[in-house]
Every structure is written in C-alpha cells, then in structure tokens.
Amino acid sequence: MKKKLVVLTGAGMSAESGISTFRDAGGLWEQYRVEDVATPEGYERDPKTVIEFYNKRRLELLHSEPNEGHRLLASLERDYDVTIITQNIDNLHERAGSTHVVHLHGELMKVTSSFQPNNPKYIRTLSADAPEIHVGDRAADGSQLRPFIVWFGESVPNIEIAVDYCEQADIFLIIGTALAVYPAAGLLAYVPSSADVYLIDPKPVDVHSRRPVHVIARGASEGMKEFIAALGK
C-alpha cells in the first residue's frame, strides 16, 4: 500500500509560474484593498470592480504554465497516495497532472450563483476562449454570476475534507505558504505525530507547532528536488 502524502500549498507554489502573490512585496494587496475585492461586503458595494478584478486574474492564469515544482509534485503519484490541499485558486496543479486536489479558497476558472455560491448545481467552469463574466450575466437561479472564490468572512466548505486527509497523512509537506490565513494555517495540528513533516519555503515560516519540521529553504521547484531526494526517490 502506498504511503499517504498530504501537501498543503500556498502562493509560493505558483510564484515561479508568474502568478501574482497577494502578501509579498509588490503583491496584489499593495495594489488593491482586501476589503474591496475579497470580501462579500466589497462585492455587494461594487460588484463590477470585483468581477473585473477576477477577470484580470483569469487572463493572467491563462498566460501561465505549471512550473517544475508542480510537475515534480504530480510525478510523486507514481509512488505515493498524494492529496494536495491548496490555498491557491489557480488550476496549475491539475494542469501539471495532479489528480487529487482539494481547493480551500475556490477556483478561479469557475463561477457560481451569488445567492447559493456553494451549490454544485450553479457552479460552472469558464473556457479559455471565454474567460470573463460581466455585470448582468446570470446563474441558473437568476442571480448575478460571481467568482467561485471563498472570500474573507465566508466559511471554507472544504476545510473538514482537508482535516480528514491531514489526519491520515504519513508524510505532510507544506510548500510556499506563510501559514497566516486560518483555518488552513491550523491544518498541521491534525497531522499524526508519527508523520514526517517537511516545509519548503525560502523565507522563515512560523508553523505554530513545536513538532520537528524538516525545513528546505528554497523556492518550490528547487525545494521539490531536495524533497524528492530526501524521500530517496
């Protein structure tokens, strides 16, 4: 039976692919106020600005490709039972070949109902040929289509699923997240004490735990090479 490798990824996973990060210097939060584009209140005040913000993010994503870190992570499915829990809203893990990805904060290429955002009946995927939505575009329930994104102040529907996978981990790997946003930042607490824990990030990260952590102080791609070497693969 394959060992269970559970991976938590954040913005640093996709930075090498040219995806704009939010919290780093020059990141999106220096250009936009969180309250304006990433809260239900901001959407209610000015849906046009919020919709256009995510239209721009989609166009950026369509011009980006998975990096070597994404591809190396996907390759581990040959030898491990891999579950990726990602805070990222891009689809680069899937495009790299990963087959089991849990998105905590939504998916950029999907849109949904403003009335029932988590109802699967109203969630649909946009195509690369038509990646934008506009004010006046309607979901099947008649409401304005909105980005399928979990905004600050909204519940995280997939967090319990993520906790279940963390509780089963034989190996837990954290890549490119400052562990600053809850509830994702608390997932390590659910990982069994018997599991090996690795962290890939070029910057120091507070893991909010006293348990041993194997730190690989590199970016996603170089860090994945070292991680695979540490696994002996």
Cα distance between residue 153 and residue 41, in whole Å: 9
Catalytic residue among 70, 93, 103, 105: 105
Contacts of 228 (CB under 8 A, 6+ apart): 72, 76
Chain mean position to CA 54: 15
Structure tokens at 172: 């837990």
**Are 176 and 200 spatial neighbours (Cβ–Cβ below 8 Å)?**
yes
Residue 166 structure tokens: 């963390």
Q: What is the DSSP letter of 19?
A: P
Residue recorded with tokens 């696994």: 231
CB burial readout 202-222, b (16+ within 10 A) else e: eeebeeeeeeebebbebbbbb
Are 214 and 193 in contact by the 8 Å Cβ rule? The answer is no
Q: Which two structure tokens, joined as six digits, stand for 75? A: 């390759």
Please name which of 214, 184, 212 lies closest in space to residue 199, comparing C-alpha atoms. Answer: 214
For this structure, is 70 an active site residue? no
Q: Could you give the residue numbers annotated as active site?
A: 105
